[in-house]
């Protein structure tokens, strides 16, 4: 989308909402893009959960105590957990006492949409400007995105425009080649998504590759699962990053399956057969999720 805006030769502001769960390679890629293209600098915006933590602490100290939802010791440990961690994604989940899900994607709204709207769109509109917000989604990516219009108007002073909506994957790759810009290197490593690492919607093969290539990100999620568990009403030892209380094979369990259990499943064969493991990653194998290997 950045390259398309350059080709159309129109002035624009490029804005990136840092969720605190991106891969380091994605951040490096964004830092390098203006230098490699001569385009405008990318503005970084971030959410802020200071007020949200304060409101949640008041709720715990009043409503939770009044309704006797937890023993005093648990109330104290919850209040201790409701402090900024330095990671926005983790802070967002601690405020909610859970991780996002397909039906509750507060990560997108609170870590992406709201920081951009309140940090960029709203000040521009308050100054009397008409804002055209470009969104780089493509219809091929999901049925939900396929149903989106190319343009809509959430308010009289804000237009959402989706210039890449009908683009094919070949169009995306060709645009990069015209500018001599490589794709995000994570695609060449088999990632289907290069936003959060991992995303709650990561596929089985993608989880396996993340565990093989970026074990630090798996360890990070394991630490987050404990931290979020301490901040919620349920006070579970582990609040699962992926589907709550459900094994990857689809069976309900008494004990939530944490990230390490999910990785074990991701390394299994079809249907979660632990006796039939997947093939090891080959260094010379094309893993590109974009089909863009030379």
Per-residue pLDDT of 198-232, as tens digits, reads 999 898 999 999 999 999 999 999 999 999 988 88
Position 85 pLDDT exceeds 70: yes
Position 175 pLDDT exceeds 80: yes
Mean pLDDT of 157-163: 97
Mean pLDDT of 157-173: 96
pLDDT of residue 56: 94
Number of domains in the chain: 2
Task: Find the angle CA(217)-CA(279)-CA(192) to the nearest 5 degrees.
Answer: 45
- In percent, the amount of the chain with pLDDT more than 90 equals 67
d(CA 33, CA 40): 9
Q: Which two tokens stand for residue 59?
A: 């709720």
What is the tens place of the pLDDT at every residue in 238-280? 788 986 545 555 555 555 678 998 898 888 877 655 555 554 4
pLDDT of residue 268: 84
Structural domain boundaries enclosing 228: 203-279
pTM of the predicted model over 0.95? no
Residue whose C-alpha is closest to residue 160's, from 214, 113, 211:
113
User: Cis omega before residue 198 (within 30°)?
Assistant: yes
Residue whose C-alpha is closest to residue 105's, from 183, 19, 164:
19
Position 235 pLDDT exceeds 80: no
Q: Answer yes or no: do 227 and 178 share one domain.
A: no
Q: Answer yes or no: do 169 and 208 share one domain.
A: no
Q: Answer yes or no: do 231 and 139 share one domain.
A: no
Position 288 pLDDT exceeds 60: no
Q: Answer yes or no: do 168 and 246 share one domain.
A: no
d(CA 252, CA 255): 9
Does 64 map to a domain?
A: no
CB 105 within 8 A of CB 35: no
Q: Where residue 134 sits, what CATH number does that domain have?
A: 3.40.50.620
14-17 vs 42-45, strand pairing mode:
parallel
CB 99 within 8 A of CB 241: yes
* Segment holding 26, helix H or strand E: helix 24-37
pLDDT of residue 35: 96
Q: Answer yes or no: do 144 and 172 share one domain.
A: yes
Position 282 pLDDT exceeds 60: no
Q: Answer yes or no: do 147 and 272 share one domain.
A: no
pLDDT of residue 148: 96
What is the tens place of the pLDDT at every residue in 113-149? 999 999 999 999 999 999 999 999 999 988 999 999 9
Residue whose C-alpha is closest to residue 137's, from 112, 107, 162:
162
* Helix and strand counts by DSSP (H, E) for the chain: 15, 5
What is the tens place of the pLDDT at every residue in 26-70? 999 999 999 999 999 999 999 999 999 999 999 999 998 888 888
- In percent, the amount of the chain with pLDDT more than 70 equals 86
Highest mean pLDDT: which of 150-154, 276-280, 289-293? Answer: 150-154
Q: Which two tokens stand for residue 45?
A: 């915006």
pLDDT of residue 255: 59
Q: Which 8-state DSSP code applies to residue 60?
A: I
Q: Which two tokens stand for residue 155?
A: 């308010």
Does 191 map to a domain?
A: no
């Amino acid at each position: 989308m950045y390259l398309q805006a350059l080709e159309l030769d129109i002035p624009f502001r490029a804005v990136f909402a840092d969720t605190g769960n991106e891969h380091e390679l994605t951040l490096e890629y964004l830092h390098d893009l203006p230098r490699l293209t001569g385009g405008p600098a990318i503005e970084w915006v971030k959410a802020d959960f200071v007020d949200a933590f304060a409101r949640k602490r008041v709720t715990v100290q009043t409503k939770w105590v009044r309704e006797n939802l937890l023993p005093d010791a648990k109330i104290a440990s919850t209040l201790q957990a409701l402090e900024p961690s330095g990671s926005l994604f983790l802070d967002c989940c601690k405020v909610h006492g859970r991780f996002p899900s397909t039906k509750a994607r507060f990560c997108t709204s609170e870590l992406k949409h709201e920081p951009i709207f309140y940090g960029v769109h709203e000040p521009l509109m308050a100054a009397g400007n008409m804002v055209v917000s470009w969104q780089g989604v493509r219809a091929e990516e999901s049925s939900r995105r396929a149903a989106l219009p190319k343009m809509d108007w959430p308010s009289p002073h804000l237009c959402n425009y989706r210039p890449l909506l009908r683009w094919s994957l070949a169009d995306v790759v060709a645009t990069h080649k015209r500018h001599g810009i490589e794709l995000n290197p994570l695609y060449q490593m088999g990632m289907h998504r290069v936003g959060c690492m991992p995303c709650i919607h990561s596929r089985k093969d993608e989880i396996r590759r993340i565990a093989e290539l970026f074990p630090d990100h798996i360890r990070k999620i394991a630490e987050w699962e404990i931290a979020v568990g301490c901040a919620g009403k349920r006070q579970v030892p582990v609040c699962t990053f992926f589907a709550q209380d459900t094994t990857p094979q689809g069976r309900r369990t008494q004990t939530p399956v944490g990230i390490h259990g999910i990785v074990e499943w991701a390394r299994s064969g079809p249907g979660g057969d632990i006796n039939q493991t997947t093939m090891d990653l080959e260094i010379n194998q094309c893993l590109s999720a974009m089909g863009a290997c030379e």
